[in-house]
Chains A and B, each alone.
Chain A
Amino acid sequence: MSGTKTFDEKDLAEIEKLTKKYPEKQAAVLPVLWYAQDKFGHVDPSVQKLVAETMDLPEAHVYGVVTFYTQFYEKPMGKHVLDVCTCLSCQVCGGYDILHYLEDKLGIMAGETTPDGEFSIQSVECLGACGYAPMLQVTNDKYVNYLTYEKIDKLIDDLKSGKQPGFESNKMPQHENGTE
């Protein structure tokens, strides 16, 4: 978190590539913010300034975009961000139980980060995994489905030891049980 944040040559080449997909440079704001978040872990005001300067855009515009979209982190987050879905199908299938278990286990509330900076918890809106509820997403990436308290315990242990969850493929039940 020290020093001024910059994009190096490689970053700038990558940003140039992202920009080429669109007839106007501004369109690349979301991809560039994603790129910046991957690099810095968040897009706080200093990163927003960097993105704005790199793309010749007003800082206010970049700030406006960052604050509109929930997946952009406006401040540094925990190393692992656990987004627990509590919306509709997840709500009726125990999403809140999972959220509260996780809050008790890590000793923080949704929206907070553990003092050691390892974990953040967020209660989020529908993630599009309704048939596999309750579920959560790990740091804007993999989904962990059909959650139980045991599965949460294992996930936390895995993440602490540096093991990220793999991609869970949810086959169509129609295929598994064979309608043919």
Chain B
Amino acid sequence: MPNDWKSYKPLLLPAIKDLHEISVYEKNNGYQALRKILKDRAMWSPQNVINEVKTANIRGRGGAGFNAGLKWSFMPEPDGKPRYLACNGDESEPGTFKDRKIFEFNPHLFIEGAIIAAYAMQIDVIYVYIRGEYRPFVKMLQRAIDQAYEKGYLGKKVLGSDFSVEMYTHMGAGAYICGEESSLMESLEGKRGYPRVKPPFPAQRGLWGRPTTINNIETLANVPLVMDKGADWYLKIGPDTHPGPVLYGISGHVKRPGVYEYPAGMNIMTLINEVAGGIREGKKLKALIPGGSSTPPLRADMLEGVSMDANSLRDAGSMMGTAGMVVLDEDTDMVDLIWRISYFYDHESCGQCTPCRDGTGWLEKTLRKIKNGDGELRDLDLLLAICHRMEGRTICALADAAAWPVRYSIDRFRDEFERKCKKTVYAVA
């Protein structure tokens, strides 16, 4: 990545005062993509909109990195009965705090994207699922939705066309698992958030048994950009395999933490040292969790030349996730850190599958033992065995998300784990 990031002007969250007001948004080209589509229905049939978004290869920003347009194309032909779009604003992955920026600073961009998505998939009801902790942000979005209804962008006969769509907010109440798409649907239906077995996939049988698509908030915010300026333009931003702008949430031991918008594929060291001002108190970098707590941590020496896009991070031995980067300095106790991550997954496991319900508990207990100085070397083997018995053996990916940080940390910071184990009197004796 050359130095052109310095002249990059944010597209998702531009520095425009009061952009959250619909009048300001409209003055800045807002809702023009939607108008363009509805004005020329021959040119922009639902299928053509899907094709354009598919070509743009917007990779899902919620963590999976799946082509959003391709996901849309999985929706079956309309049969006259309800179809749903569920927008995922659960944002509970530790290290992630980006979608709240969209709710606060540019909610209409997301709303416009969701309306276009609904048009393309011939959906009549949109639910926006937002975590309960984000109550003030739910209010902000609700206000923006009310404005959009007043101006005729939502509701019956959008802008005088024959396309109608409703949008409702739905507030969660504190459950990480509800960010998993099938759990989110269960929660929306008023139940405990137990993930569903797939298949059937949501496009076949989703909310109330009807075809449903679930997209992340940031993913949908990219849609108006694509429809306004075209997929070809969008593909020129960032790397070929992972185009478009990305909201990087940088936290941990950096001088200037926060959410930054730059093209995908930014060099990781540039993000840490130049964008976020480097490590606090002149300390050295020890490790990075690149995309939320479930992405395997990378040692500082593994970061050379690695950039924030799905392929580069995969080659480096981790994942893009939500681009919520947690930067860790040389004083970080990795055993302590991984224990706390395991505690999190133990707390958040929904309890449906035994390997996860019990496995997360045993990971937490064993790590707590090591952290407290009572560990033995064989506990490391035990941890790896537990990981092995969790990975890929459950309905959803929470078990994998819990196992990976443990597995990869033992692999990458083994001496640190061993040192803690060897300290115990019992182990030496």
Mark A residues whose CB is within 8 Å of B. Answer: 21-24, 26-31, 33-34, 61, 64-65, 68-72, 86-89, 91-93, 125-133, 137, 140-143, 167, 169-170, 172-175, 178-180
Across the interface, which residues of B come within 8 angstroms of A131, CB to CB? Answer: 97, 249-251, 257-259
Which A residues touch B347, using CB under 8 A? Answer: 125
A36 CB to closest chain B CB, in angstroms?
Answer: 12
Q: Are A89 and B259 in contact (CB under 8 A)?
A: no
Hey, which chain B residues are within 8 Å of A173, CB to CB? 256, 258, 260
Min CB–CB distance A165 → chain B (angstroms): 11
30 contacts between A and B (CB under 8 A): A26-B190, A34-B171, A65-B192, A68-B175, A69-B193, A70-B175, A71-B174, A72-B173, A87-B340, A88-B326, A88-B344, A125-B176, A126-B94, A126-B293, A128-B91, A128-B96, A128-B100, A130-B95, A130-B249, A130-B252, A133-B257, A140-B132, A140-B133, A172-B13, A172-B101, A172-B259, A172-B260, A174-B261, A179-B7, A179-B8
Is B133 a contact of A130 with CB atoms below 8 Å? no
Q: How far is the CB of A59 from chain B (nearest CB, A)?
A: 14
Knowing A30-B171, A30-B173, A65-B192 are in contact, say whether A174-B97 is a contact too (CB < 8 A): no
Indicate if the CB atoms of A26 and B189 lie closer than 8 Å: yes
Q: Is the CB of B172 within 8 A of A69?
A: yes
* Chain B residues positioned under 8 Å from A178 (CB to CB): 15
With known contacts A169-B104, A179-B6, A89–B326 Cβ distance under 8 A: yes
Residues of A within 8 A of B261 (CB): 172, 174
Interface pair B173/A70, CB less than 8 Å apart: yes
CB proximity of B409 to chain A, nearest CB, Å: 13
Residues of chain B with a CB closer than 8 A to A72's CB = 173-174
Q: A22-B188, A132-B97 are known contacts; what are 17 more A-B pairs with Cβ within 8 Å?
A: A21-B168, A23-B208, A29-B191, A30-B170, A30-B171, A34-B173, A65-B192, A69-B132, A69-B174, A71-B174, A125-B348, A128-B91, A128-B131, A141-B136, A172-B10, A179-B8, A180-B9
Closest beta carbon of chain A to B196's beta carbon, Å? 15
Complex alpha-carbon distance, A91 and B332, angstroms: 10
For B326, the chain A residues whose CB sits under 8 A away are: 88-89, 92, 130
> Is A174 in contact with B190, judged by CB distance below 8 angstroms?
no
| Complex alpha-carbon distance, A64 and B194, angstroms | 11
- Report whether A125 and B249 are in contact in the complex, using a CB–CB cutoff of 8 Å: no
Q: Is B133 a contact partner of A137 (Cβ separation < 8 A)? A: yes
List B contacts of A133 (CB < 8 A).
251, 257
How far is A170 from B133 in the complex, measured between Cα atoms in Å? 16
Q: Please pick, from B168, B208, B251, B348, the residue contacting A130 in the complex, using a CB distance under 8 A.
A: B251
Q: When the two chains form their complex, are residues A88 and B189 in contact, meaning their CB atoms are under 8 A apart?
A: no
Q: Which residues of B contact A28 (CB under 8 A)?
A: 190
Q: Do A69 and B251 touch across chains, with their CB atoms under 8 A apart?
A: no
Shortest C-beta distance, B13 to chain A (Å), equals: 6
Distance of A140 Cα from B171 Cα, bound (Å): 12
Within B4-54, which residues are at the interface with A (CB < 8 Å)?
Answer: 6-10, 13, 15
Q: Is the CB of A93 within 8 A of B174?
A: no
Q: Which residue of B lies closest to A70 (CB)?
A: B174
Interchain CA distance A24-B189 in the complex, whole Å: 8
Q: A175 and B15: CB pair below 8 A?
A: yes
| A108 smallest CB distance to B (angstroms) | 21
B59 at the interface (CB under 8 A from A): no
Q: Which of the residues B173, B208, B253 comes within 8 Å of A69, measured between beta carbons?
A: B173
- Distance between Cα atoms of A26 and B350 in the complex (Å): 20
In the complex, which residues of chain B have a beta carbon less than 8 angstroms from the beta carbon of A174?
A: 10, 15, 258, 260-261
B358 within 8 A of A: no
In the complex, which residue of chain A has the Cβ closest to the Cβ of B131?
Answer: A128
Is B328 within 8 A of A92, CB to CB?
yes
* Docked pose: A175 CA to B133 CA in angstroms: 26
Residues of A within 8 A of B340 (CB): 86-88, 91
- Which residues does chain B contribute within 8 Å of A71, judged by CB atoms? 132-133, 173-174
B324 contacts the other chain (CB 8 A):
yes
